[in-house]
Amino acid sequence: MKATGVVRRIDELGRIVIPKEIRRTLKIKEGTPLEIFTEDSGQLLLKKYSPIVELGELAREVCESIFLATEQNVLIVNMENVIASSGPNKNTYLEKTVDSRLEKLINARMTQIVSMSEESIRIFQDNYNIKFYVVSPIMANGDVFGAIIIFDEKNDLTDCEKKIAQSFADYIGKQLG
């Protein structure tokens, strides 16, 4: 752990304020779920909670199923990182940070086919030559937790991939709900 030098007191309701600079750096927004860990030494650790990460094996199986059906690369992401991947270069993408602008696309709550141009939203900041992708948000109980992304480096994607992504995103959402 890294010391921040910030000291805060707990108020009468048991609350503590996380400084704005730390929230901004760690991309913690209002409503972000945090998991609380304690240690015998008295340390308290807050960690951003992603229910999709908890579905690790299911996410990997879903990626593999989509890949077998479409022969396209598949990613499952929470709002920040790739948590599951399938395709020829699947290990290249695992745990990569997704482009922060992709979050806005996911929060639009619509399955979309995106073809890349200079001003398009990229999956990753370093683009990996991904030209076409489908993004389908994973939602449960009205909240967006991540997305399924199907992509191809060369060829356009069709409504078939769009429907597959949406079906599996709905399925994962039901597992989270």
* Pair 93, 159 in one domain: yes
* Pair 87, 68 in one domain: yes
* Pair 39, 77 in one domain: no
* Pair 39, 71 in one domain: no
**Report field, pTM of the whole predicted structure over 0.85:** no
Per-residue pLDDT, averaged over 3-7, amounts to 84
Instruction: Give the HSE-up count for residue 131: Cα atoms under 13 Å, Cβ half-sphere.
Output: 6
pLDDT in tens, 67-124: 999 999 999 999 888 999 999 888 888 888 888 888 888 999 999 988 876 556 778 7
* Pair 62, 98 in one domain: yes
* Pair 64, 118 in one domain: yes
* Pair 62, 101 in one domain: yes
CATH classification of the domain holding 18: 2.10.260.10
* Pair 58, 30 in one domain: no
- Tokens found for residue 65: 């199923």
Question: Do 52 and 83 contact (CB within 8 A), yes or no?
Answer: yes
Domain that holds residue 79: 54-176
Q: Which of 100-104, 119-123, 168-172, 173-177 has the lowest mean pLDDT?
A: 119-123
